[in-house]
Copies of this chain bind each other. A is one copy, B any other.
């Protein structure tokens, strides 16, 4: 990791009864995103206390690479279905590494 890297924590809660349908879409997003330029790490996690909540831990080479990613079809398609699949808006915070 170097100073220009951007770390993102994004989180989404899938609607009741839709995990089986939506989880494969999140997994497909992981596979396609890992091939994108500047994607250093992109991992999907499940909240141990709420099985409908999923968290992406992302490491991007630069802000520019992250911004390009956000415009790509796989993520845009997911964002377009936010209201249909998720119990609330997706959240995403960006960080730099301190230590």
Residues of A within 8 A of B (CB): 1, 6-7, 9, 23, 26-27, 30-31, 43-49, 54-55, 57, 93-99
Contacts and interface: CB of A to CB of B under 8 A. Distances in A.
Residue of A6, A31, A94, A98 ringed by the most chain B CB atoms within 10 A: A98
Contact of A95 (B46, B93, B94, B97): B46
Copies in the complex: 2
Given A7-B45, A43-B97, 9 more contacts: A9-B55, A9-B57, A26-B99, A43-B99, A44-B97, A45-B98, A46-B96, A47-B94, A49-B93
A97 B45 contact: yes
Nearest to A29: B99
